Every structure is written in C-alpha cells, then in structure tokens.
Amino acid sequence: MSSPFDLDAFAFDLPPERIAQQPLAQRDQARLMLLDRASGQIGGGRRVCDLPDLLAPEDLLVINTTRVLAARLRGQKVTGGRAEALLIGAEGDPAQRRFRALVQSRGRLRVGLGLRFSQPSQDISLAAEVVALHPGGEVSLVFEPGPSPYSIGEAPLPPYIRRPPGDAESPESEGQRAHDFERYQTVFARVPGAVAAPTAGLHLTPELLQRLGGIGVEIAEVVLHVGPGTFRPLRDEDFERGKLHREQYVLPQATVDAVAQARSRGGRIVAVGTTSTRVLESCTDEAGRLVAGEGETELFIRPGQPFRTVDGLLTNFHLPRSSLLLLVAAFAGVDSILKAYRQAVADEYRFYSYGDAMLIL
C-alpha cells in the first residue's frame, strides 16, 4: 500500500542559505508570518515579540516543557576511526548502563564493537560496547561504570545544522558547543528527556511570557519528549499503520482545567509547536473531551483529520515531505500552507530549528 498523499506535493525548493545555521541574538526577534485559517490570507511584517498584539486576553498558550538531553557523543572505535552516537534513551535497569542509540561510523556495526567517547574540555572518556542491533539502524550500547554518558555529551543538533570540524579542544569549539546547548533549549525547559528541541518554543523569552500574562493570556504546560523520529523521512509503512514513532508525553490535570476555563471565557487554545499539538490532540477523545494522563503517543495527523482542541498554532517552517509539514497543512489547509511556504521562501524567511516562525489563527 502506498501513501494516500502525493508527498511530492509537499516538496519545495529551498535555497541552502535559507536554512538557519545560528540562532538570532535575541530569541523573540524572529520574523513572524501570519496565516488566517479561514481565508488563507497571509500577513507579514511581524516578529515573535509582537505576540501580545496578536493574541487576545482570553487565550491560552500551551508550551512544551521538555528539556533536551546532551545526547550527542563523539569519540572513536577502539579499532580506529571516528564514531558518533545519538543516545535515544536508557533501556531497562539504569544500573545496567544500557542505552538505545544511533551510531555513525565507517564500516558495518556489529555486536561486540568497542567504542570510546570523550569530552576533551572535561578530560573525561567512557568506553562502550555494542551489545545488540535493532531495525532502523538502532543499536544497544552498554557503558563502562562511571559518570552518566550525558555528562560528556553535547546538544544533539539536527543534521541540517552544520558546524565546521575545527579543533574539538579549541576555545572556539567549546564556546560554540556551550552556545548551542543553551540556545537549542527553551527558556522553560525543565523535564529532561528529548533528543530534539520543540523549536517553536525557542522563540519565547521570560519577558515575552510576562508581557503575555500582563494582558491576560494564560500559560499552560505539557511535556512531549521529542524523539529522533522527528527527522526521519515518512515511509509507506507510516501511512499503512496510520501512526508515527512513539514519543512520551504528560498532560497535567492543571492544563486540562486551564483549557476548560479558556473555553468558558471564549478564548482560543494556541499550541506552541507541533509537539504541544500532538499532546493535546492525542488526549482528546472523539467526543471532544480532553483527558489528563501520561504515556506514549504515535498520533499521525494528516490533511483531512479534525482538530478537536487546538484553535491556533505557533510553529516554525518545517522540512519538505515531513510529518510536521503534514500536520500544519492539516491544521491550516494544504493549499494555504503550500502558498505560505512559497511566500516564505520568496521573502527570505529563515527555515527549520533556528529559523523564523508562523502564527496560524
């Protein structure tokens, strides 16, 4: 069974220089495109700092408080040659020091392969061994006793953000790594567990949140630990299953109550990012009731599917042919989104994780 959608329709030409490689000096100075869901009308000339002028006092803003782990490890194979690992999460008893990971190195990975990862600035290294191979290129690593592997990791930047190799031990490289770990994290990140940032939230600042609160916009929280699947291309089996990769979520009762209160006063539920959207829509039943809880979601939102809780969406500009682009197209309409993306390319908006934003209301 092939995809019911023509994914080529969700492809677009993007000049490489439009892919943001560095964050802006001030988070909330990112450009903000406006898109009206009803009319498809596109507006520009705004910045994220203008949100208090665009939201109403009755509205509720829902943010994702996941915290990105220092999940990228750099090192080498014991047989020689560079190796890099992305830790996806612990497996089983933490005392076993066993982690699921994606490993990049020359040559075929095999059970028994030894690796050593290090953080030159801290003069720390840890040995690990491949103990199992899994579908999709994942492996299981067991680390030797010692500090947490995350203590020698760095920000797991997506593959389209490139850094020159440089000298890993130079002050410049160390400064860049520290800068990335700070900026590839929202200012409200506090629940560790993600291997990718909820990027729409990267634009918000404490001062902006305070200004929103000052006009009456309330803030509510969810948690969705973004996994590596967010960067994987869509496959036919995703459409066959009607599901995506699993991601852990938490929807607190306080947020359910806040949604109900916003509804009662005529406010809109505005999700910050596709991650907050997935939590809210995953926890809404067919009768439209939002139910608190925690677990794993595989929700795959595609054009034609209804939204039962989310009324507005603050989102970045996403990769072509991606599940994230399909979600925003489902929310705003395929034609409207594709037109908006063409306009964003023409107007030289910055794309992807460190890029500009769109507000769909």
For 129, half-sphere exposure in the C-beta direction (CA atoms, 13 angstrom radius) is 6
Torsion angles phi and psi, residue 335, rounded to 5: -60, -40
Residue in 183, 263, 213, 221 with CA at minimum distance from that of residue 51:
213
Provide the 3-class DSSP secondary structure of residue 246.
strand
pTM of the shown model: 0.93
Q: How confident is the prediction along the chain (361 residues), in pLDDT tens digits per residue?
A: 345 568 888 999 999 999 999 999 999 999 999 999 999 999 999 999 999 999 999 999 999 999 999 999 999 999 889 999 999 999 999 889 999 999 999 989 999 999 999 987 778 899 999 999 998 889 999 999 999 999 999 999 998 998 765 545 555 567 888 899 999 999 999 999 999 999 999 999 999 999 999 999 999 999 999 998 877 778 778 888 889 989 999 999 999 999 999 999 999 999 999 999 999 999 999 999 999 999 999 999 999 999 999 999 999 999 999 999 999 999 999 999 999 999 999 999 999 999 999 999 9
pLDDT at 2: 47
DSSP code of residue 66: E
- Name the packing angle between helices 323-332 and 334-346 (round to 10°): 110
* Cβ-Cβ contacts under 8 Å for 149 (sequence gap 6 or more): 73, 87, 97, 99, 117, 126, 128, 143
pLDDT at 171: 55
Greatest Cα pair distance, the chain, in angstroms, is 65
281's enclosing H/E stretch is helix 273-282
What is the distance between the alpha carbons of residues 167 and 284, in angstroms, rounded to a whole number? 49
Residue in 64, 360, 34, 28 with CA at minimum distance from that of residue 211:
28
* Cβ-Cβ contacts under 8 Å for 130 (sequence gap 6 or more): 103, 109, 110, 111, 112, 113, 115, 139, 140, 141
What is the distance between the alpha carbons of residues 259 and 253, in angstroms, rounded to a whole number? 10
Q: Which domains does the chain show, CATH number per domain? A: 7-68+184-360 (3.40.1780.10), 72-153 (2.40.10)
What is the distance between the alpha carbons of residues 152 and 326, in angstroms, rounded to a whole number? 36
Torsion angles phi and psi, residue 89, rounded to 5: 160, 165
For 100, half-sphere exposure in the C-beta direction (CA atoms, 13 angstrom radius) is 13
Q: Label residue 194 exposed, middle or buried (CB < 10 Å: 0-12, 13-18, 19+).
A: buried
Q: Label residue 217 exposed, middle or buried (CB < 10 Å: 0-12, 13-18, 19+).
A: buried
